[in-house]
Structure 1
Amino acid sequence: MPVSLQQSASNLKSLHLLRALLREATYLPDATARTYFRQYVVNRYKAYQPKQNATASFDVQAVEKYRHRSFKRRQIAIINDRTRPLLRKGQKGLNFLRRANQGEIPCLQKILYFAYGRMGRRKYALLDSLLKPDLTVDGHAEPLPGSEELAPLQKLYYSNKRYLQYFDAPTPSSKTNYTIRISDRYSRLREVIKSQYQKGVKIRRELKSSALVTPINNVWERPMPIKRARNNVRRWYAATLSALLPPLPNDEWDNIRAMILKEKHISFAKRRKPVLEPEPADEERFAIAIEEGLALYTPSRANKPAGLHRPHTINVKFMRRLYTRLLMLCCKLDYDVEHKKWRATWGDSMKGISPTIYTMPTDGTLFAGVDAAGRVPIPPKKSDNDVETDSVKKTRLHKEAYVRFPFFADYLPKTHPVRKDLDRWKKKRAAAASESE
């Protein structure tokens, strides 16, 4: 196939995929997700568009509300080399959107995570605003204590690495450990880390601690080398930021809560009606069936959904459950004027059951013979002073004519309980025999 024809066919396939992706993005049951994924798809396509076909408004297409900046434009050689794998990846993304619009819970939940910054590009955009220092009254960043050039940890570790500027100087917490906390200049970051650690909120891995605890000496009881100390801080910082869930803007957090509490309507999208095409003739239908059979086309889960993740009807109740799961992973920051500190508010579960259903009258005999834990109490053990043992009570007949004793009972001492029972039983049997005569 000539190169020009091959490129034109590839461009036509890319345009069809673009239209399909934008169409499925408009069917998402959440307004924020529809805006986010439409802009995401457009920016991904513009990044792989040749420069001569670019528009003048390419650099201003990013949505300021979500801080979703455009992707970097690729060169022609990279575009030609990545066309086929990216088309395959785009087809997978299209199937993922179709499954989300059909109501598959894992797909739709992941769509909401991407749109509200629990993962993906928007998460790092929200982290970027969280990692900025606090502002003073005049709107400028709060100055560093003591030095205007380097943070305390940067000065102590002789490095200007960026991750060191977020920490205070180490303070001894015990005889063997140092504690390195988040600096006061980043009080919002410190409050989010502390509240998330206390709540135990996580998607995959939870936060290990709200502050770094590092040993003072190494295994040879020598002072910790500077390089290893920096690496300890870097590893803790990377692990914390990967598990950290940045706060949402207050209006978005309140919007999600209002939809959960039915104070605001959920904006669903209506599907377009498909164009009715004339049915093909018998010969054309036969030719289409032969082509599909020879192509060995494997339908995706979007075409044949089944199993545990089968489609769910997307309604208000279903979306409220998804929003509840989402809100438990989101927080908002409010400034407490009285205590002069930031407060993080996390979403709570809305599945609380009213205790009134347990106060209904019940029959007392239903739980008779059990304790407060619902278990049958164990009867107390019998003492050794009992006259009759369990072995004596096991009789062959109901009249106790025959009693089972071990074969060695006659050889036991006379003070043994079993020997006493045997002698007593022999006397009873002899008395009964004499009375019968």
Structure 2
Amino acid sequence: MAVPAVLSTRSTPWRHLYRSLVRECTYLPDPVAMDYMRDYVRSSFRENISEARIRGITQIKEFHLHRRGRKLLSLLHRANEGYLKALEKVLLLAYGRIGKRRYFLMRPLLPPQTVIQTFDDNWQPPSALMTLLKSQSNQRTVTELGMRPVIKSFEPPIPKENIWGRPIPYKRRVNIRRRWYRLLIDSCLPILPGQDWGVLHDLATGKGPWTLPKRRKTLAVSQPTTFLTPEFLVHGPAKGPTFEMYSRGRPHNITRRLMEKLWRKVCALTPTMVWDEPRDRWAIQWGMIDAPRRISAHKLDREKGIALFEGVDPRTGQTSHVNRAAG
């Protein structure tokens, strides 16, 4: 995507930042995260470019936009290097557990924006949202992971009387309901589209195919032929290797086993929700976090098994005196 002159003529290297972001997106070890982060980068640049063409963009705003892009690039780069916190955050963003996509996935659970909510005494929250939140509160795994705020009450905490023993004013009751409703929305973990849920479930259970994207080879940096470099003359000799780079974690080799552990965690935070016609209610199912148990097909040799208990008295369970002396 070509960067227009309104951004490219300034000192900020927008084209280099855009290409670096898209390149890091193609290295992500998750198919859904790869597509989502690439679309997110493209849409963000297009929105900023359109705003710059129509309204113009100030130097300060351009600085903040570029800093936000560099932070995203750092997050993607650390995720591709195998830093677990960064990789987990990218997966949570891609599957809508946090960030912009979570609010987009919340739309089917909320009333249309054209409906004006008065939060008066006759107001009721959406039934689908309340059903999902009650199911979420019963999931111990979701509570232990602490991904979203915990709902302590499924009714607006409106006291019967104020400190003077008088009824609560109408305006205060409305404000309490509004704040409580915002807390509900902030606490909810929405459902995923069926296609993304299927991909996530297959990857978490080890059924889906997966290959690690290949990274582009970096060019080798030529070493200086002399140690009398300008940096050496100004700053002196460089210090030896330290653990500073591992203060925020260490990189891991991205393998299928490592990814399945992260996929299971994301899957445990992702519900499915369908309408059960016979029972006339919502049927909600949450993902799993425990690793699937693999039954070993290896059989123990009978003779080796008997040899393990050779010399043991079957009545007392103690070894014979002959074996003790031999030992």
- Same-fold call, TM cutoff 0.5: yes
Which residue is 2:173 aligned to? Answer: 229
Residues 259 and 265, structure 1, Cα contact 8 Å, conserved in 2: yes
Residues 28 and 100, structure 1, Cα contact 8 Å, conserved in 2: yes
Which secondary structure does the structure 1 equivalent of 2:215 belong to?
coil
Which secondary structure does the structure 2 equivalent of 1:76 belong to?
coil
Which residue is 1:177 aligned to? Answer: none
Which secondary structure does the structure 1 equivalent of 2:49 belong to?
coil
Q: Does 2:29 align with 1:85?
A: no
Which secondary structure does the structure 1 equivalent of 2:273 belong to?
strand
Residues 259 and 320, structure 1, Cα contact 8 Å, conserved in 2: yes
Q: Does 2:170 align with 1:190?
A: no
User: Cα distance 1:132–1:355, how it changes in 2: closer, same or farther (>3 A)?
Assistant: same
Letter in 2 for 1:225: P
Letter in 1 for 2:266: L
User: Cα distance 1:291–1:340, how it changes in 2: closer, same or farther (>3 A)?
Assistant: farther
Residues 148 and 186, structure 2, Cα contact 8 Å, conserved in 1: no
Q: Gaps (5+ residues) in structure 2?
A: 297-307, 318-327
Which residue is 1:420 aligned to? Answer: none
The alpha carbon displacement at 1:226 in A equals: 0.4
Q: Does 2:196 align with 1:256?
A: no
User: Cα distance 1:325–1:22, how it changes in 2: closer, same or farther (>3 A)?
Assistant: same
Letter in 2 for 1:76: G
Residues 109 and 322, structure 1, Cα contact 8 Å, conserved in 2: yes
Which secondary structure does the structure 1 equivalent of 2:138 belong to?
helix
Residues 264 and 291, structure 2, Cα contact 8 Å, conserved in 1: no
The alpha carbon displacement at 1:38 in A equals: 1.2
Structure 1 residues 268-277 or 113-122, which shifts more?
268-277
Counterparts in 2 of 1:88-103, with a 5 A limit? 88-103=67-82
The alpha carbon displacement at 1:39 in A equals: 1.6
User: Cα distance 1:241–1:23, how it changes in 2: closer, same or farther (>3 A)?
Assistant: same
Q: How far apart in 2 are the matches of 1:7 and 1:216?
A: 61
Which secondary structure does the structure 2 equivalent of 1:334 belong to?
strand
Residues 204 and 267, structure 2, Cα contact 8 Å, conserved in 1: no
Letter in 1 for 2:275: Y
The alpha carbon displacement at 1:19 in A equals: 1.1
User: Cα distance 1:349–1:281, how it changes in 2: closer, same or farther (>3 A)?
Assistant: closer
Q: How far apart in 2 are the matches of 1:38 and 1:281?
A: 38
Residues 268 and 286, structure 2, Cα contact 8 Å, conserved in 1: yes
User: Cα distance 1:190–1:269, how it changes in 2: closer, same or farther (>3 A)?
Assistant: same
Counterparts in 2 of 1:309-320, with a 5 A limit? 309-320=249-260
Q: Gaps (5+ residues) in structure 1?
A: 54-72, 134-148, 158-163, 168-181, 367-437
Q: Does 2:31 align with 1:28?
A: no
Which secondary structure does the structure 2 equivalent of 1:345 belong to?
strand
The alpha carbon displacement at 1:322 in A equals: 0.1
Q: Does 2:20 align with 1:76?
A: no
Q: Which has the higher contact order (CA 8 A, sep 6+)?
A: 2
Q: How far apart in 2 are the matches of 1:129 and 1:37?
A: 22
User: Cα distance 1:43–1:150, how it changes in 2: closer, same or farther (>3 A)?
Assistant: closer
User: Cα distance 1:318–1:197, how it changes in 2: closer, same or farther (>3 A)?
Assistant: same
Residues 268 and 287, structure 2, Cα contact 8 Å, conserved in 1: yes
The alpha carbon displacement at 1:291 in A equals: 10
Residues 192 and 247, structure 1, Cα contact 8 Å, conserved in 2: no
Residues 187 and 342, structure 1, Cα contact 8 Å, conserved in 2: no
Aligned-pair identity in percent equals 29
The alpha carbon displacement at 1:276 in A equals: 5.6
Look at both structures and tell me which one has the larger radius of gyration over its CA atoms.
Answer: 1
Letter in 2 for 1:309: G
Letter in 1 for 2:11: S
Which residue is 1:116 aligned to? Answer: 95
Which residue is 1:273 aligned to? Answer: 217
Q: CA RMSD in A?
A: 3.7
Which residue is 2:40 aligned to? Answer: 40
The alpha carbon displacement at 1:346 in A equals: 0.9
The alpha carbon displacement at 1:263 in A equals: 1.4
Letter in 1 for 2:279: H
Residues 119 and 174, structure 2, Cα contact 8 Å, conserved in 1: no
Normalised by the length of structure 1, the TM-score is 0.57
User: Cα distance 1:88–1:288, how it changes in 2: closer, same or farther (>3 A)?
Assistant: farther
Q: How far apart in 1 are the matches of 2:33 and 2:64?
A: 25
Residues 22 and 38, structure 2, Cα contact 8 Å, conserved in 1: yes
User: Cα distance 1:232–1:51, how it changes in 2: closer, same or farther (>3 A)?
Assistant: closer
Residues 50 and 76, structure 1, Cα contact 8 Å, conserved in 2: no
- Residue number among 216, 226, 239 corresponding to 2:183 in the alignment: 239
The alpha carbon displacement at 1:203 in A equals: 0.3
Q: How far apart in 2 are the matches of 1:220 and 1:9?
A: 62
Q: Does 2:84 align with 1:105?
A: yes
Which residue is 1:332 aligned to? Answer: 272
Normalised by the length of structure 2, the TM-score is 0.74
User: Cα distance 1:259–1:37, how it changes in 2: closer, same or farther (>3 A)?
Assistant: same
User: Cα distance 1:154–1:18, how it changes in 2: closer, same or farther (>3 A)?
Assistant: closer
Counterparts in 2 of 1:294-305, with a 5 A limit? 305=245
Q: How far apart in 2 are the matches of 1:310 and 1:31?
A: 24
User: Cα distance 1:291–1:343, how it changes in 2: closer, same or farther (>3 A)?
Assistant: farther
Aligned length: 287
Which residue is 2:11 aligned to? Answer: 10
The alpha carbon displacement at 1:320 in A equals: 0.4
